[in-house]
Structure 1
Amino acid sequence: MLRYRAATVRADRARALLGDAVRSSQAGMDNKQAVARTAGISREFLYRVLAGQEWTWPRGRQVRPPGSRRPHTPVRELAAWTVDDSRYCLVSYRDTQGGACVAVDRGGEPGIPLCDVKVSDRHPVGAGMTMATMGHGTAVVYGRVHDRVTGIYTVMNNGERADWPICADPENGQRYFAVIADSGSLADIVATGKARNTSLADRFAIWFRRAP
Structure 2
Amino acid sequence: MDLLKRWGVEYLYKAFFLVYEWLLLDERLQVYGTVVVLDYTDITLQLMMAISSAETAKKSIVFFHKALPMRMRGVHMYNEPTFIDVFMSLVNPFLRQKIKDRFILHGQSLVKIHEDVGMEALPDEYLPDDYKGPSAGSAEKIIGAMLDDMKKPEFQEHIRDLSSGKYGVDMEKRKTDDTPAASFRKLNVS
- Scaled by the length of structure 1, the TM-score of the pair is 0.27
- Scaled by the length of structure 2, the TM-score of the pair is 0.29
Q: Greater Rg, structure 1 or structure 2?
A: 2
Larger fraction in helix: 2
